[in-house]
Amino acid sequence: MGPPPPSCPSPNPLKVNNNGVISFDTRISQYTPDPLPLADGRSFVAPYWADVDNVLGGDVFYRETTEPALLARVTQDINRYFPATSFSATWAFVATWDHVAYYGSTTDKGNTFQAVLTTNTKTSFIILNYWDIQWTTGAASDGDAETGLGGTPAHAGFNSGDDTNFYNIPGSQTDAIINITQTSNVNVPGRWVFQVDDFKVTGVPTDAPKVANDNSCWL
């Protein structure tokens, strides 16, 4: 039997790593990203896998919840994005990286992004939200200490631990990842959503969505 899908509650505690990764079996200390899938079978969600240094700036918050109001919002969103799936969330895990700095930074640049994992025990989804992305690379990944650019840029997506169920968000490990706040697969700029129990990526766009960008999708 393979590893649990990335957004299901796991017998092993979820681990929120400061490098922009939520892992399921072991902590991931690697700060320079690799393209997915990984050969070593690690299972994780990577909202923004990069050389984060929240000692220099920013905070990382996370919570597991069954709060009815939050689950109702998640349920509404998932049913809008996946109308063929009847979904009612019973559990969610929310992790937020708030204005986090990059390793070696000599500026006050910070990135703000969020991952939401949700399930009804049978169907599971990942929601990735991007509010403000100002840098792509830390100094230990050959990024520029003043700009936070260059080197090996951040990676976004998820890895199920096999060579089949994974996804690399377009722009990952390129300079274009800094524009992830303008891209989407659900026509909401800065939001990417995946069904991961039965791997589905709804309509991946070729152009930036036209919906106004606001923070109403944040949880």
Q: pLDDT at position 3, please?
A: 33
- Extract the tokens encoding 188: 């909401």
Backbone angles phi, psi at 154, to 5 degrees: -60, 160
Q: Please, where are the H alpha helices in the chain? A: 68-81
Mean pLDDT of the chain: 86
Q: pLDDT at position 162, please?
A: 80
Contact (Cβ atoms closer than 8 angstroms) between residue 6 and residue 158: yes
pTM: 0.86
Residues 24-68 have pLDDT tens digits of 878 889 999 998 988 787 889 999 999 999 999 999 999 999 999
